């Protein structure tokens, strides 16, 4: 499924690039080519020639840094410095978040603890009527448990119904080699849930388009044995769509000998998210709280690209903190599919 909204580059920790229609005309006379950006008290809406980048900032100890200003950063597109026209916290943006649970046999003992932690997580971040959540499970196949909804009760009810993956066993108690398709599951979640019909309806069309953050939170041991897609291809696809990935790396009964830490860290870093490796159920809940803090502590910077428009091209975006002790998490590129004159 290809993206069909002009210049969209969202979210997670999340980069979001999102244009609106051309300004309306007043009394038959067109408004200026570069109309003023919205007042900080208004809902965030970007004019046709503007783009926005959503990002989070941590200090040397990995703690979220808040209360920063536009003057604390430099923003570059394709190596050219850009002027930040509007800067504010992005927590006012609605959030689309899909929770993806690994229900393969290796995760069976952890499922009850994971469900309890996800239930608390939903309560912590979810703003009914504004944010949207979805639930999916995966093992050898991906199963949609609950599509995007703004109703918290529906999500929590669906969460309670999740069970471990049921595998066919033959007379010798053998199982078919279905494996675990982590990267295929992430790709399907990005395309079919966070970019599907409901997502398009939420974002809207015409003059009703809204800027939205998008993220995936996946609970897994990181071991992929069945995906058709490569990790690099999936990470690039999610990054282009502006979907941030957070991972909870969990081994059977919180043992971590079988957790692929490198794979999860590379995946999250490539999409602007983070990976956590909790050691018990209490630590799992603390990790979810850190994800909530990360999502709540993001910024959005709006700018008008100074580079010339052109055919579809991959463009790089970089937010540099002036304080080199700080680290920025954000998407690093977008595809200018609709930048033709």
Give me the tens of pLDDT residue by residue for the chain, a chain 341 residues long. 333 333 333 333 333 333 332 333 334 443 333 334 343 334 555 556 678 788 888 888 878 898 899 999 999 999 999 999 889 888 878 899 999 999 887 777 888 989 999 999 999 989 988 899 999 999 888 999 999 999 999 999 999 999 876 544 445 555 445 678 999 999 999 999 999 999 988 877 544 457 778 999 999 999 998 899 999 999 988 987 889 999 999 887 655 557 999 999 999 988 888 899 998 889 999 999 999 888 888 888 889 888 776 556 788 899 999 999 998 888 777 766 543 32
Q: Would 123 be classed as within a structural domain?
A: yes
Half-sphere exposure at residue 135, Cβ-oriented, CA atoms within 13 angstroms? 23
Domain span holding position 202: 95-296
The answer to whether the beta carbons of residues 207 and 46 sit under 8 Å apart is no
CATH number for the domain that contains residue 128: 3.40.50.410
Does some domain include residue 262? yes
Q: What is the pLDDT of residues 200-219, one digit of tens each?
A: 888 775 444 577 789 999 99
Whole-number pLDDT of residue 33: 38
* 35 located within any domain: no
Q: Is residue 200 part of a domain?
A: yes
Q: What is the pLDDT of residue 36?
A: 41
State how far the Cα of 125 lies from the Cα of 135, in Å rounded to an integer.
Answer: 15
The Cα–Cα gap between 44 and 52 comes to: 10
Question: How confident is the model over 2-26, as pLDDT tens digits?
Answer: 333 333 333 333 333 333 323 333 3
Q: Does any domain span residue 23?
A: no
The reply to whether 86 falls in a domain is no
Dist. CA 157–CA 143, nearest whole Å = 16
Give the count of domains, the chain. Answer: 1
3-state SS, 25-51, equals CECCECCCCCCCCCCCCCCCCCCCCCE
What are the φ/ψ torsions at residue 314 (nearest 5 degrees)?
A: -85, 125
Q: Does a structural domain hold residue 248? A: yes
The two tokens of residue 267 are: 């995946």
CA atoms of 7 and 209, how far apart (whole Å): 12
Does residue 5 belong to any structural domain of this protein?
A: no
């Amino acid at each position: 499924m290809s993206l069909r909204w002009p210049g969209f580059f969202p979210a997670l920790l999340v980069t979001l690039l999102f244009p609106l229609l051309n300004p309306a005309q007043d009394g038959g006379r067109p408004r200026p080519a570069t109309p003023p950006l919205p007042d900080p008290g208004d809902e965030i809406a970007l004019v046709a020639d503007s783009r926005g980048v959503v990002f989070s900032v941590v200090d040397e100890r990995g703690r979220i840094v808040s209360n920063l200003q536009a003057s604390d950063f430099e923003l570059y597109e394709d190596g050219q410095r850009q002027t930040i026209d509007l800067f504010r916290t992005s927590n006012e943006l609605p959030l689309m978040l899909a929770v993806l649970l690994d229900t393969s046999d290796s995760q069976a003992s952890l499922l009850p603890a994971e469900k309890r932690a996800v239930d608390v997580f939903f309560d912590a971040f979810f703003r009914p009527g504004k944010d949207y959540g979805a639930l999916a499970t995966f093992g050898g196949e991906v199963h949609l448990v609950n599509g995007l909804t703004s109703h918290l009760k529906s999500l929590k009810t669906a969460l309670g119904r999740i069970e471990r993956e049921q595998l066919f066993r033959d007379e010798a108690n053998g199982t078919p080699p279905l494996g675990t398709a982590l990267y295929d599951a992430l790709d399907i979640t990005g395309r079919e849930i966070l970019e599907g019909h409901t997502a398009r309806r939420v974002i809207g069309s015409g003059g009703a388009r809204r800027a939205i953050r998008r993220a995936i939170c996946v609970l897994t041991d990181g071991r992929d044995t069945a995906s058709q897609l490569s990790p690099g291809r999936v990470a690039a696809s999610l990054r282009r769509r502006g979907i941030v990935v957070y991972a909870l790396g969990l081994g059977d009964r919180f043992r971590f000998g079988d957790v692929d830490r490198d794979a999860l860290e590379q995946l999250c870093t490539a999409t602007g998210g983070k990976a956590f490796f909790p050691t018990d159920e209490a630590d799992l809940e603390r990790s979810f709280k850190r994800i909530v803090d990360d999502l709540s502590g993001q910024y959005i910077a709006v700018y008008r690209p100074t580079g010339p428009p052109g055919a579809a091209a991959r463009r790089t975006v970089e937010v540099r903190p002036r304080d080199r002790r700080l680290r920025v998490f954000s998407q690093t590129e977008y595809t200018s599919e609709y930048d033709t004159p």
